[in-house]
Structure 1
Amino acid sequence: MSQKCPRCGFIHNCYCEAIPTIASDLCFTLLTHPNEPSRATNTGKLIDKLFDDCTITEWQRKSPCERCLPDTSPYSPVLVFPCEESVPLAKWHQKQQGAKSNFIVLDGTWQEAQKMLNRSAWLKLLPKVHLDSAELSQYQLRRNQEPGNLCTFEVCAEITREVGNEHDANAMLTFFEDYLLRFQAERSGHALTR
């Protein structure tokens, strides 16, 4: 019987060697819905493998993550979520004038992410940005996705692109396309054949 890879957890389709080296020093905080860590389809865990400054923390309705608060975060916290008061990411980035941002991404289904925002007064107080992406999602592992909705991994790749690191964003999306093929083969219990 084959062994699980201790790093990626796959048996037949280890993707460790496919993980790209990302030069970006972006900071991400993934606020994860309590249901998300147990889902095999979670893509936030991949961001943690790519970026040195990535923290994954479980969302708490009333207890904010200190890394997400303006007074305790080492960088300017900004929630990545499209809504009426959100501004385009490019506009936010330009206004920061080189100061580093802590990009907070709600990691869950779109329905869960909306509930997380609606139920947390502390999240509502954060500045918000939205992406101007016209990219179509490659992610087809969950049902009930609406057109234009990107998964957590794709959101982080698009942030990387919009702050000016096209090379890293392209490397991320090439890896993600390969990962999705490996994931489907792994879920079917066989090695990917090319």
Structure 2
Amino acid sequence: MPHAVSRLRTARLARASKPFLARGGPRNERCAACRLIPSHCMCALRPAVPGVRAGVCLVMADIEALKPSNTGWLIADVVAETFAFEWARTVVDPGLLALLADPQWQPYLVFPGEFVAAERVVTEVLPSSVSSDGKPSKRPLFVLLDATWPEARKMFRKSPYLDKLPVLSLQSEQLSRYKLRRSQRDEHFCTSEVAALCLALAGEVQVAETLEAYLDVFTNHYLKAKQQQPLDLEDAVHQRLRGLRTEADPLPSAGAS
């Protein structure tokens, strides 16, 4: 079944008045599931991490879901409870409002604390676990503004329905390794990296590490396709992802069909 970002992409394409042409990447036919050309398809490498309690809510700028380089797509591949909504200044998707009000979730809007009133800023999240009395705690829901940095700042300012949410300000010294759409500032992470940092804060270490490794594999495949270079399924990035997969869900080795 297509995940939330895939469904949003399909809906956005249905409304388009002309074909969407991605800048930079190959213009060949792409796999509908992973957005890569068939020779570099990574569908067989999609990891499965069971038992993830945390969720991710992607609020996506207008054409973000259409971009082959978008990494929100990778989050939806890995985290089962990923939701995706298109942002608009004058209209709010009722499904987004219902999700934010759902009592099973504790939403956190992820955004730099320097732009927010201090009383809204948090640096820790509720653990994604079951309490000692056997009752499940509220599940953390990370709300990510999936857009370029200028777009994200606009979305933040013009979305009053987000004003009551606590703002999770990430405190990481890690520099972005994302090579497809480099920000002018190294401390600006791509959406998938942000999600991995959030998941780690929620105690979801395995899924965080898997998402990081999956991003590295996606970047590898994307750039190899763009440069018309063959893949090496036994290189370091594939080995790392393979090591994080369960034995019941093995990666294909080099030369596998």
Query: Could you state the TM-score of these two structures normalised by the residue count of structure 2?
Result: 0.66
Deviates more, 1:70-79 or 1:6-15: 70-79
Q: Deviations over 1:43-91 (max 9, x none)?
A: 111111111111111012233344544435652222111123343342x
Deviates more, 1:96-105 or 1:167-176: 96-105
Structure 1 SS opposite 2:187 = coil
User: For residue 40 of structure 2, what is the aligned residue in structure 1?
Assistant: 13
Structure 2 SS opposite 1:30 = strand
Out of 126, 142, 145, the position equivalent to 1:93 is 126
Query: 1:64-79 counterparts in 2 under 5 A?
Result: 64-69=92-97, 70-71=100-101, 74-79=104-109
With over 3 angstroms needed to count, the CA separation of the structure-2 counterparts of 1:65 and 1:27, relative to structure 1, is farther
Structure 1 SS opposite 2:126 = helix
CA contact (8 A) 2:104 2:138 kept: no
Distance in 2, matches of 1:181 and 1:111, equals: 27
Matched, 1:171 2:199: no
User: For residue 142 of structure 1, what is the aligned residue in structure 2?
Assistant: 181
> Which AA in structure 2 matches 1:155?
V
Query: Could you state the TM-score of these two structures normalised by the residue count of structure 1?
Result: 0.85
With over 3 angstroms needed to count, the CA separation of the structure-2 counterparts of 1:144 and 1:8, relative to structure 1, is closer
- Per the TM alignment, residue 6 of structure 1 is displaced from its structure 2 partner at its CA by 4.2
**Tell me, which stretches of 5 or more residues in structure 1 are unaligned?**
none
User: For residue 109 of structure 1, what is the aligned residue in structure 2?
Assistant: 148
CA contact (8 A) 2:75 2:211 kept: no
Distance in 1, matches of 2:39 and 2:58, equals: 28
Structure 2 SS opposite 1:12 = helix
> Which AA in structure 2 matches 1:150?
F
> Which AA in structure 2 matches 1:8?
C
Distance in 2, matches of 1:5 and 1:111, equals: 30
Out of 66, 80, 87, the position equivalent to 1:38 is 66
> Which AA in structure 2 matches 1:93?
L
> Which AA in structure 1 matches 2:33?
R
Q: Deviations over 1:132-170 (max 9, x none)?
A: 222211112224431211111001111111111222211
% same residue: 27
CA contact (8 A) 1:29 1:56 kept: yes
Out of 207, 222, 227, the position equivalent to 1:183 is 222
Q: Which has the higher contact order (CA 8 A, sep 6+)?
A: 1
Distance in 2, matches of 1:136 and 1:76, equals: 28
> Which AA in structure 2 matches 1:14?
C
Structure 2 SS opposite 1:79 = strand
Which has the higher Rg, Structure 1 or Structure 2?
A: 2
- Per the TM alignment, residue 3 of structure 1 is displaced from its structure 2 partner at its CA by 6.8
Distance in 2, matches of 1:103 and 1:67, equals: 16
With over 3 angstroms needed to count, the CA separation of the structure-2 counterparts of 1:67 and 1:78, relative to structure 1, is farther
Over the aligned positions, Cα root-mean-square deviation in angstroms equals 2.4
Runs of 4+ in 1 over 6 A off after TM superposition: none
